[in-house]
Amino acid sequence: MTFGNGYNISNVLFIGDLYSSHHVLREVGYSFMQIQDIFLRYENDLAMVEKFIEEQQQSYVHLIPEITGYIINSGGKRLRPLLLMISSDLCAYEGDRRYSMAAVIEFIHTASLLHDDIVDHAIIRRGKPSANSVWGNSATVLVGDYLYTKAFKVLAEDEDPAVQKLLSITTTTMTEGELIQLMKMGEINASERDYLSVIEKKTAVLISSACAVGAILAKVPESKVEALTRFGMRLGMAYQLTDDALDYVAEEEEFGKAIGMDLKEGKTTLPLIRTLKKCSSDEKALIKRVLGSEDVKDSEIKEIISLISGYKGIEYAMEKAKEYILEAKKFLEPFEDTIPREALFAISDYIVERKL
C-alpha cells in the first residue's frame, strides 16, 4: 500500500511490531490521524473563535452582519484558524489571544473572498449564490472593506507589533497577488513561474501567516517561527494547486462551484499552462479564443477540459502539490513528535488527497 506522500507501507511492516511500524511511518511524515480527529480535538477552540467572530461582526448597520454572516457561515472549513490553533498548541501557547488572532485571520480571508467574487463576476460561492449576486457589488465591496478594517482594529487593540507587521505585510501581498492575477486574465503566455508567484501572494501567504502567528504568540525562538512560516507557505501553495486542479474534475455539489469556472473567468492556472505548453497550434487557438471570450459555450469548456486531461495537466499540478507537501513536512523537523505535529502532517496529507 502506498500512501499520499509516496511512502510504501511494505517498507516498514516487515518489522513485525505495530508500534515500531507506526513510529517509522511518523518519522517519514505519515500521520495516522484523520481530518475529523483534528477538528474534534480543536472543536472547543474553534467554538471560541466562532464566538469572537460573532461578537465582532455585529453592527447597527444591519447589512454588515447580514452579509458577513452569510459568507462566514456558508460552509468554510476554517482551515486558517485551525492552523493557528494547532501551531499555538505545537508551541505550547494556551492563552486567549489565539482566538482573537484566529478571527482576524478569518476576517482577512473572508474580505478577500468577497472582493475576489466581485472581480471574478462569480455567481456561486461554496455551492450557494455569491454575496455580490445577492446584494450587489457596491454593498459587497463595502462589507469586505469593513472586515479588513475590523481585522486591523482588533490587531491595534492586541498591541503586538510583530503580529501587526506580519499581517499588514500579508494583506498588502494578497492585494498585489490579486492585481497581478487580474492583469494576466486571459493571457495564454503566462508561465509556470508567473502562476506560482500569484498563488504564493494570493493564497499561500495568509496560510503561512496563520501558522506563524501561533508561534509568535508562544514567543518561541525565531528559528521555530521561521520553520512554521515556511511550512505554512508550502502548505498554502499545495492547497491552491489542488484547488486549481479540482476546478477541472470535481463535481459542483462537492466543490461548491461549476466545473471549469477558472476557464470562464479567464484564469490561466497550472493545468492549463501545462496544456498550452504541450498542445498543437490549433488547440492553442481554441484555448485563446475561449479565454478571451465573454460568451463561452459549454461544449468549448468540455473540449478544453478534455485537452487538459489528455495532456495530463491535472496530474502535473497534483504532482507539484505533492512536492510542496514533502517540502512542508521537512520544516516540522525542529519540533518534538507530539499530537499537534502529527495533526499538521495529517492536514498536509489531507490537502493532496481531498476530493474537495
Question: Which fold is adopted by the domain 34-353?
Answer: Farnesyl Diphosphate Synthase (1.10.600)
Strand partners, 128: 125
- Is 251's pLDDT higher than 70? no
Q: What is the pLDDT of residue 216?
A: 98
Domain locations in the chain as residue ranges: 1-30, 34-353
Pick the range with the lowest mean pLDDT from 91-105, 123-137, 223-237, 324-338: 123-137
What percentage of the chain reaches a pLDDT higher than 70?
Answer: 88
**What pLDDT score does 133 carry?**
94
Type of residue found at 276: L
Amino acid found at 61: V
Residue 232 phi, psi (nearest 5): -65, -35
Give SS3 for 129: strand
Average pLDDT (312-327) is 97
Of 152, 52, 67, nearest to 113 by C-alpha is 67
Residue 228 · residue 334 · CB < 8 Å: no
Structure confidence at residue 72 (pLDDT):
85
Q: Could you tell me the pTM of the whole model?
A: 0.89
Q: Please, what is the average pLDDT of the chain?
A: 88
Neighbours of 156 (CB within 10 A): 9
